[in-house]
Structure 1
Amino acid sequence: MKKVFFVFFLISNIILYGQSSITPWPDWAKSSTIYEINIRQYSKKGDIKSVQKDLPRLKNLGVDILWLMPIHPIGKFKSKGEWGSPYSVKDYLGVHPKYGTLVDLKNFVNTAHKMGMKVILDWVGNHTAWDHPWIKSNPEFYVKRGDTISHASNNDGSMTDWYDVADLNFENTAMRRRMIDALSFWVREAKIDGFRCDVGGMMPVDFWNEAKIALAKINPKIYMLVEEEDNSKLIDEGGFHTLYGWSMHSLSKEIANGQKNATDFETYLNNRRLKYPAQTTFLYFTSNHDENTWNDIASKRYGKAEDLMSVLTFTMESGIPLIYNSQESGEKRSLKFFDKDEIIWGNYEKSSFYKKLIQLKHQYKPLWNSTYGSKMDRVNQGDDVYAFVRKKGNQSVWVILNFSDKPQVTTLTEEINGAKDWFSNTPFNYSFDKEISLEPFEYKVIVK
């Protein structure tokens, strides 16, 4: 059965690597925003060099971490679509020839580093393409059903519809070693700063602990993001810094559609605080490659609440915000997943909005990531409006959100003096005898 692991693995890991410990959050990521790059769709050529030409614009936008979707050669056998899924990896040590070369990637990373940005790779470790060399050279590296290599399955043994990929067997220690060697290659040779680990929760926690310790020997400040939310052991035992905020994303869509309200949001916060270690950080987003392709663009999913929810992703406690490429241009359309489908960039009409949010994140320590930031404290009551403050040192940030599609009024439980409205740059003061009026899905960010 997939993902049944032996104590022997853990003992051998300790002998090889040393004791496990919770991974400190890298200081370079304390106020960071992640920007996801779909190389295939980013430009007409769909290559690394084209993205590199756009780095000055991204630097001006203010993003800190560039997440490159999988860069590797894509399998052709059993592939989906003309181009295939970027998550069907044929060679863990290669760069897709349509994207460029290893030299191109090194130049990209070096240029980004000179501009003060970091680069993380999307890592697909749970499965490979069917024409990956291991299929023939090392069939024992894969999960088998009877005598046949299985396509990707879930942790409970049920089958996915990912028939284009073969399921790796993490009971095989040799395969684990090869996987860690491949991860290490990119950190050592291309100076990659971290990884976004695709469906990382389908892989064992003790494997990730192995990988973390090996990678930290090359770069002690490596950053690790995992596409998983439910397993908190990935944080306190697996070496990850950030989990996916899928539950919050689902809740935000329900709020936008009138199905949930401020009380439900408060319940989510309270439950999350009880469930996860204090240092746990979540990736918060209004779009990404999955949402864009399978569930449409953010404006269709959120309607008039889109900007309000973007503000929330940047101001939530224990959160690191994500921007998916083209959101700063209004995310014109859903992009194909298995074929070429170039982004329509337009005139970057939302660039100033996101730039302002990134600047807010950078300048106000209460909003910083992980334990660098501070807790959200609610400062109002009611089901329709949620207002909170985050304070650290001599800085305070108040966020007031109308979760309703109707005008609302609210009052705050504390006075505010000598502050300013972040977006209008106008003075803001509040006393207990005042009411704050809000239009449908209006937001206010007040700073001091």
Structure 2
Amino acid sequence: MTSAAFSSGTRPADDWWRSAVVYQVYPRSFADANGDGTGDVNGIRARLPYLADLGIDAIWISPWYPSPLLDGGYDVSDYRAVHPDFGTLEDADALIAEAHALGIRILIDLVPNHCSWEHPWFKAALAAGKGSPERDLFWFRDGKPGGLPPTNWPAAFGGGAWQQVEDGQWYLHLFDISQPDWNWDHPKVIEEFDAILRFWFDRGIDGFRIDVADSMAKDSSLPDVPLQDGQPTREKYVGNPFYDQPGVHTIHQRWRAIADEYADTPQGARVFVAEAWLSPAERLAQYVRPNELHSAFNFDVLRCAWDAKELREVIDHTTENLWAVGAPATWVLSNHDTIRHRTRYGRDQREALKDAGVVPTDLELGRRRARAAALLELALPGGAYIYQGDELGLPEVEDLPEEVLDDPVWERSGHTRRGRDGCRVPLPWSGGEPPFGFGTGAGQPWLPQPADWAALTADAQASDPDSHLNLYKAALRIRRDTEALGEGRLSWDEDAPAGVLSFSREPGFRCLANLGEAPISLPPHRSVLLTSEPLVAGQLPSDATAWLEI
């Protein structure tokens, strides 16, 4: 397979990532080939024709490694294998080859901040005891007087970030207690991850999404964090001792050098995309300088209200800061950690990101805005990510029974936060009742699907020209065929009415997103390429986006 097989239009194949539309697969919930209720690698293989028809450039697969699955696979016990529930290394090799044959690249997750407490190195550290070289690979420390942990650092999923073991020492876990943090000051950890990267690059994967890419380096003096409302702050303030420390950049530069070793292979560039929830964009831009990671998710748009002024400010701030370091923007509306944007956009703006089940939601309004947002995202300069089910217009499942909740947030919060399971419900493919073709038989999947999803299945939408799915297909086809789209620049159209985001891209393209309350007339144009809602008497209705040839 030569790099030319991956080229998109006239763009250089080795720059594919600068404009790529990447589809995120959460493997437990995508497609189940063996009927056991859990999605698997062979399920992904079976649906590759669907993804090729959708028109995406690459797939990012959330962790498929062996794991106790106490945090959805982000608790890794072996970085060089595939979880038996998901398949085998041979299945993964076949997936990579079959995807490449269709012109689709494969990215997988790397989880470098922490591993599972089932990882052999951590089990050896527990057994070895205080002062052992095995414990130096992690953050084992003695506590403070009075039986207190070494610091007041909070864990992301609730509670404190230190867990005491039988001999009295404490280990650091910035996330769940089952996820001990690696000590990136230790050369053995550094060398191990070098080897992990090469293991997967040599198997043909095209890149990695770096989980919490801003967290590996810690301030070894272990200072406490400030209090906020009487509790240790969770803010990623400048100088935070465990987020966005300068040492992360040394790690990323080392990884970039490894990826660049593969640049002259027939497959071409291997790439990284960073997950780093950092604001403002000046901080994020440090992660995508020319000798570091290739791209980073832009979460400011995901967190932004459905408001033209706020969105324009975020888009400007993002693009200006990333362009300043030569990096493309990478836009995202939903992922496996966030409330699906159809639900988010159907809520009161001030409460859109609150946990499931606590905020009234207008799903029809959310549907309209989700369609408009999809066309806005895909028209912006740079790359874009689609979370599985976004193309079907799936809402967040907010009424999962408590007994099925699987996310550690549920337990760590003392059953006060339902967590992220609502965006991880298995996809509906076909049929009129659960499991909607998710598996090979009638067995139910690991999380229950809503009974009213029959109209949202991929099969039901395929034959409806106005469906969410066909809107995505049309948008991706136009994006691929239109020189103005993908990487590049935009210029704002200052003649746009209030409440309307309007920008032009060369040559000959204009996007208008009407976030106002009244329909608007279209500006002079050669043709209407696509709209998220039908025009009414030639006007673009509220909460709709139009693509124009000008």
TM-score range, shorter chain: 0.7 to 0.9
Contact 1:386/1:402, CA 8 A, preserved across alignment:
yes
CA distance in 1 between counterparts of 2:155 and 2:393 reads 36
Superposition CA RMSD, Å: 3.1
Higher helix fraction (1 or 2): 1
CA deviation profile, 1:92-147 (whole Å, cap 9, x unmatched): 11110100110000000000000110000011111111111121153211123327
Aligned partner (choices 355, 361, 371) of residue 307 of structure 1: 371
Structure 2: runs of 5+ lacking an equivalent: 1-11, 126-133, 144-148, 162-173, 217-247, 353-365, 408-420, 430-456, 462-466
Q: Does 1:265 align with 2:343?
A: no
My pick for the range that moved more, 237-246 or 40-49, is 237-246
**Aligned counterparts, 1:118-197, within 5 A:** 118-135=105-122, 136=124, 138-146=134-142, 159=161, 160-188=174-202, 190-197=203-210
CA distance in 1 between counterparts of 2:94 and 2:191 reads 28
CA distance in 2 between counterparts of 1:293 and 1:424 reads 22
Q: Does 1:325 align with 2:407?
A: no
**Aligned counterparts, 1:323-362, within 5 A:** 323-331=386-394, 333-334=396-397, 338=407, 341-345=425-429, 346=457, 347-348=460-461, 349-362=467-480
Aligned partner (choices 22, 25, 34) of residue 34 of structure 1: 22
CA distance in 1 between counterparts of 2:210 and 2:115 reads 14
Aligned partner (choices 421, 431, 441) of residue 528 of structure 2: 421
Structure 2 CA distance for partners of 1:101 and 1:341, relative to 1, 3 Å: same
CA distance in 1 between counterparts of 2:81 and 2:182 reads 19
Aligned to 1:103: 90
Structure 2 CA distance for partners of 1:264 and 1:292, relative to 1, 3 Å: closer
Code of the residue aligned with 2:110 in structure 1: it is: W
CA distance in 2 between counterparts of 1:298 and 1:33 reads 22
CA distance in 2 between counterparts of 1:273 and 1:421 reads 26
TM-score (norm 1): 0.78
Q: Larger RCO: Structure 1 or Structure 2 (Cα < 8 Å, ≥ 6 residues apart)?
A: 1
Q: Does 1:397 align with 2:509?
A: yes
CA distance in 1 between counterparts of 2:154 and 2:104 reads 34
Contact 1:35/1:323, CA 8 A, preserved across alignment:
yes
Task: Give SS of 2:214's match.
Answer: helix
CA distance in 2 between counterparts of 1:211 and 1:161 reads 24
Contact 1:89/1:132, CA 8 A, preserved across alignment:
yes
Contact 2:115/2:181, CA 8 A, preserved across alignment:
yes
Contact 1:399/1:446, CA 8 A, preserved across alignment:
yes
CA distance in 1 between counterparts of 2:139 and 2:13 reads 34
CA distance in 2 between counterparts of 1:162 and 1:200 reads 17
Q: Shift of the alpha carbon at 1:410?
A: 5.8
Percent identity of the aligned residues? 20
CA distance in 1 between counterparts of 2:95 and 2:387 reads 19
Structure 2 CA distance for partners of 1:343 and 1:273, relative to 1, 3 Å: closer
CA distance in 2 between counterparts of 1:194 and 1:32 reads 13
Aligned to 1:207: 251
Contact 2:22/2:385, CA 8 A, preserved across alignment:
yes
Aligned to 1:6: none
Structure 2 CA distance for partners of 1:152 and 1:211, relative to 1, 3 Å: farther
Aligned to 2:244: none
Code of the residue aligned with 2:16 in structure 1: it is: W
Higher strand fraction (1 or 2): 1
**Aligned counterparts, 1:175-254, within 5 A:** 175-188=189-202, 190-203=203-216, 204-219=248-263, 221-228=269-276, 229=278, 230-236=283-289, 239-251=292-304, 254=305
Structure 1: runs of 5+ lacking an equivalent: 1-23, 256-260, 429-434
Structure 2 CA distance for partners of 1:39 and 1:407, relative to 1, 3 Å: same
Q: Shift of the alpha carbon at 1:408?
A: 3.6
Contact 2:75/2:115, CA 8 A, preserved across alignment:
yes
Structure 2 CA distance for partners of 1:198 and 1:238, relative to 1, 3 Å: farther
Structure 2 CA distance for partners of 1:152 and 1:111, relative to 1, 3 Å: farther
CA deviation profile, 1:24-44 (whole Å, cap 9, x unmatched): 993233542100111111124
CA distance in 2 between counterparts of 1:132 and 1:122 reads 17
CA distance in 2 between counterparts of 1:328 and 1:273 reads 25
CA distance in 1 between counterparts of 2:185 and 2:68 reads 24
Code of the residue aligned with 1:192 in structure 2: it is: I
Contact 2:345/2:369, CA 8 A, preserved across alignment:
no
Aligned partner (choices 481, 489, 494) of residue 374 of structure 1: 489
Contact 1:205/1:238, CA 8 A, preserved across alignment:
no
Contact 2:18/2:328, CA 8 A, preserved across alignment:
no
Code of the residue aligned with 1:343 in structure 2: it is: L
Contact 1:206/1:237, CA 8 A, preserved across alignment:
no
Code of the residue aligned with 1:206 in structure 2: it is: T
TM-score (norm 2): 0.64
Aligned partner (choices 78, 81, 89) of residue 91 of structure 1: 78
Code of the residue aligned with 2:509 in structure 1: it is: V
Contact 1:40/1:47, CA 8 A, preserved across alignment:
yes
CA distance in 2 between counterparts of 1:315 and 1:105 reads 33
Structure 2 CA distance for partners of 1:145 and 1:274, relative to 1, 3 Å: farther
CA distance in 1 between counterparts of 2:522 and 2:58 reads 38
Aligned partner (choices 337, 341, 346) of residue 290 of structure 1: 337
CA distance in 2 between counterparts of 1:420 and 1:293 reads 32
Structure 2 CA distance for partners of 1:232 and 1:60, relative to 1, 3 Å: same
Contact 2:272/2:295, CA 8 A, preserved across alignment:
yes
